Amino acid sequence: MAAMPGFAQHIENCLKTVGSDDFAVAFLDFVETLHIDQIMVFSIETDHARCFMSRHFSHSALAGQLASTYLDGWFEKDPLLQELRDTPAGEIRLRRMEDFAERMSAPYRQIFFDAPGLAGKTTLLAAGQRVRLFVNLYQGGENAVLCDPDTARLAGRLVLMHFDRPDRFEIPPPLAALSEREREVCLGILSGQKAELIADGMEIAPSTVITYRKRAYQKLGISSRTGLFAICRP
């Protein structure tokens, strides 16, 4: 695996923060160096999927839109779904676009690849004792250079180490990449509070709540309360 400037430091930062709310920021800093356009991490459970991480590094709204659509039943059409369910615990499998393209329906390809311009995809099927994860790394453009497979597997292993834990998350995983204030605003929204009530509890002005909400939505790639509830649904 070829080293890159700061590579070891990025890995150390990820390992130091595994199991903490700081992991998402450290991990996203790491994967951004892999020259990918988007990362999406989904947990596949018995009859539903959960979004653990979703970030497009240049078009923030796109990741939220695709995550919401995927969670709204389209995960059941994922051509790698059955293989992930059958993957033995502790194993990380790497699949490129060409490995499963023929099993992909035309509507699925149009929604998740053609329309958003995401031509290249590397998927890690990460099976733990408690979770089974799709770690999806996307590149745009016809001549996209796929990330090194060993580095991609390392990314999948780091994510699995973080999310395959016996404790339950106190906050929805997608919110971990936000600042403390942004996260607090989102949690208030998820609990049904209006901006004025959130502001009162945080002892700030309602206009400041709106500013934090706007920043949070930009980072999460969403544009509305509906999008927030979609990516944070249990």
User: CA-to-CA distance for 234 and 49, rounded, in angstroms?
Assistant: 9
Q: Please, how many CA atoms are within 13 Å of residue 182, restricted to the half-sphere of its CB?
A: 17
Identify the residue whose tokens are 């909400």. 213
Q: Which two tokens stand for residue 124?
A: 């890690």
pLDDT at 15: 95
51, β-bridge pairs: 42
- Confidence label for 1 from pLDDT (cuts 50, 70 and 90): very low
Residues sharing a CB contact under 8 Å with residue 84, sequence separation 6 or more, in sequence order: 44, 125, 127, 132, 133, 134
**Of 1 and 156, which is predicted with more confidence?**
156
Q: Please, how many CA atoms are within 13 Å of residue 49, restricted to the half-sphere of its CB?
A: 27
**Of 173 and 185, which is predicted with more confidence?**
185
Nearest to 172 by CA among 37, 54, 36: 54
- Confidence label for 120 from pLDDT (cuts 50, 70 and 90): confident
Angle, CA of 223, 224 and 227, to the nearest 5°: 90
Nearest to 177 by CA among 16, 17, 7, 15: 17
> What's the Cα-to-Cα distance from 47 to each of 44, 74, 131, 151, 185, rounded to whole Å?
8, 12, 13, 31, 30
Query: So where are the chain's domains?
Result: 7-163, 178-232
- As to burial, measured by CB atoms within 10 angstroms (0-12 exposed, 13-18 middle, 19+ buried), residue 120 is buried
Architecture of domain 7-163: 2-Layer Sandwich (3.30)
Query: pLDDT digits over 59-69, tens only?
Result: 877 888 888 89
This prediction has a pTM of: 0.78
What CATH class is the domain 178-232?
Answer: mainly alpha
Query: pLDDT digits over 153-169, tens only?
Result: 999 999 999 999 876 56
Alpha-carbon dihedral angle through residues 200, 205, 208, 213, given to the nearest 10 degrees? 30
Instruction: Calculate Rg over the CA atoms of the chain.
Output: 18
**Of 201 and 169, which is predicted with more confidence?**
201
Highest mean pLDDT among 101-105, 123-127, 177-181: 123-127
Query: pLDDT digits over 81-99, tens only?
Result: 999 999 999 999 999 999 9
**What is the average per-residue pLDDT within 125-137?**
95
pLDDT at 234: 64
**Of 202 and 95, which is predicted with more confidence?**
95
